[in-house]
A and B are shown apart, each in its own frame.
Chain A
Amino acid sequence: MSAAQAATDEVLIARIAQGDRLAMQVLYGRHHVRVFRFGLRLVRDEQIAEDLISEVFLDVWRQAGKFEGRSAVSTWLLAITRFKALSALRRRKDAELDDEAANAIEDSADDPEVSVQKKDTSEALRKCLTALSAEHREIVDLVYYHEKSVEEVARIVSIPENTVKTRLFYARKKLAELLKAAGIERGWP
């Protein structure tokens, strides 16, 4: 995101704080897809992810007056989304979801369909990215897709900056292990 857009995001938030619904629509139009995708990758349920974005932007409507601009608006949105997603997961008692997904990638080794996929490194990579734990998925997405810096990720996930770096390193290592289990060697590690 450009500095100019970040600045206008802050103006939108200031207008939302005054009850400007048009500003809310503009902000929603600008960010709702990324918020949805980030939430969907965490909760893995489209219905819940859609409910999440309504909740996230309703929070923005209510809390805009308290936004202090210490981080970019997009970083604030992702932090709210993450909090809401984790709450939704807790509500559903869906902790076993990650284990199921991780098992799925290993179990698929004998699947002839997957054997064909193995030839396609890109597709296998995407499948393995889906199979990462929620903790690893979110950090990979925040850095690669949402283009967040070390400091911004630290703010969103509420962990120290050094932990951000090591967590992504180990997420990548896990990804390499999953790929290896699927028969794909990439030369690292």
Chain B
Amino acid sequence: MMAMSKKMLDEPSEIEMLLPWHAAGTLNARDARRVEEALARDPALARQYAVIREEYAETIHLNESLGAPSARAMQKLFAAIEEEPVRKPSLTSRISTGIAQFFASLSPRTLAWSAGAAAVALLLQAGVIGAVLMQGQTYQTASLSVNERPAASMTRELGAVGTPPRALVRFAPDAKMADINALLDNYQATVVGGANGLFRLQFGGKSMNKDEVASLMSKLRGEKIVSLAESAP
């Protein structure tokens, strides 16, 4: 029994080590509950806890009996502060202090209402965004789709009667830069956009009718260095 007690003292349990913090009331809820349960079932631990409470009370008594510093300490401090260089508060520190003071000045009830109002505002915002997305059947992504022609692009096309024809062109992987430049010269074409290996080319400086555009596309597809050519807005 003696050996066992000695061993226990040499290697204190986790709960045993937490007892002082339990006496001081500084444990979190989970640990406090663990300690309470252990105290209820272990009389030896409860005796040790009683001893700790004595130590706790006397430590407070001892510290309180130490008195307080004289006014000299404060005078010395503020004399030293007077000799410190004057600081100019930065804008960011003024803003952060203002925010901190604002929230510190709010009562818990006001803070709770503010948080609630913010949550409602977020929900409303989410609702509006959702409604817009649901209506947006004609919404166009940034991808280069040649088959789907959204209403918006159609409208744009109707208003652009005098614009030169355009096409999406993919060049063959072995096409040389010189060949591509030659093709652009031959067709009086300029690159006006492109992505993912596709180039948007504009041809000439005037508009073409449907047959002319079809003929142009057919001619383009016949080029050795062109692997894809589709008319595009």
Closest to B75 in A: A54
- Mark out the residues of chain A between 101 and 134 whose CB falls within 8 Å of any chain B CB in the assembled complex: 121-122, 125-126, 129-130
Q: Return chain B residues, CB-CB under 8 Å to A65.
A: 93
Can you name 22 A-B residue pairings with CB atoms under 8 Å? A11-B104, A17-B93, A18-B97, A19-B87, A21-B81, A41-B63, A49-B69, A50-B72, A54-B73, A54-B77, A126-B61, A141-B63, A143-B20, A144-B23, A144-B55, A145-B63, A148-B26, A168-B17, A168-B20, A169-B12, A176-B51, A188-B47
Q: Return chain A residues, CB-CB under 8 Å to B96.
A: 14
How many residues does chain A have at the interface if contact means C-beta atoms less than 8 Å apart? 57
A7 CA to B99 CA, complexed, in Å: 12
Q: Return chain A residues, CB-CB under 8 Å to B18.
A: 165
A3 CA to B149 CA, complexed, in Å: 61
Closest to B31 in A: A150
A56 CA to B26 CA, complexed, in Å: 25
Closest to B70 in A: A50
Report whether A36 and B69 are in contact in the complex, using a CB–CB cutoff of 8 Å. Answer: yes
A162 CA to B81 CA, complexed, in Å: 39
Interface size, B (range): 35 or more
Report whether A18 and B48 are in contact in the complex, using a CB–CB cutoff of 8 Å. Answer: no
> What 0/1 readout, one digit per residue, does chain A (137-158) give for beta carbons within 8 Å of chain B?
0001101110111100000000
Nearest Cβ distance between residue A92 and chain B, in whole angstroms? 19
Report whether A165 and B69 are in contact in the complex, using a CB–CB cutoff of 8 Å. Answer: no
Q: Return chain A residues, CB-CB under 8 Å to B104.
A: 7-8, 11
Report whether B59 and A36 are in contact in the complex, using a CB–CB cutoff of 8 Å. Answer: no
Q: Which residues of A contact B (CB under 8 A)?
A: 7-8, 10-11, 14-15, 17-19, 21, 24-25, 28, 32-33, 36-37, 40-41, 46, 49-51, 53-54, 57-58, 61-62, 65, 121-122, 125-126, 129-130, 140-141, 143-145, 147-150, 165-166, 168-169, 172-173, 175-176, 186-189
Q: Return chain B residues, CB-CB under 8 Å to A28.
A: 74, 77
A37-B63, A41-B66, A187-B51 known; 15 new pairs, CB 8 Å cut-off, are A7-B104, A11-B97, A11-B100, A11-B104, A21-B78, A36-B68, A53-B69, A57-B77, A143-B26, A147-B26, A168-B20, A172-B55, A175-B55, A187-B47, A188-B48
A162 CA to B39 CA, complexed, in Å: 21
Cβ-based interface call for B89 (8 A) = yes
Q: Return chain A residues, CB-CB under 8 Å to B26.
A: 143, 147-149
Report whether A54 and B76 are in contact in the complex, using a CB–CB cutoff of 8 Å. Answer: yes
A122 CA to B59 CA, complexed, in Å: 10
Nearest Cβ distance between residue A78 and chain B, in whole angstroms? 13
Q: Return chain A residues, CB-CB under 8 Å to B54.
A: 121-122, 125, 186
Q: Return chain A residues, CB-CB under 8 Å to B12.
A: 166, 169
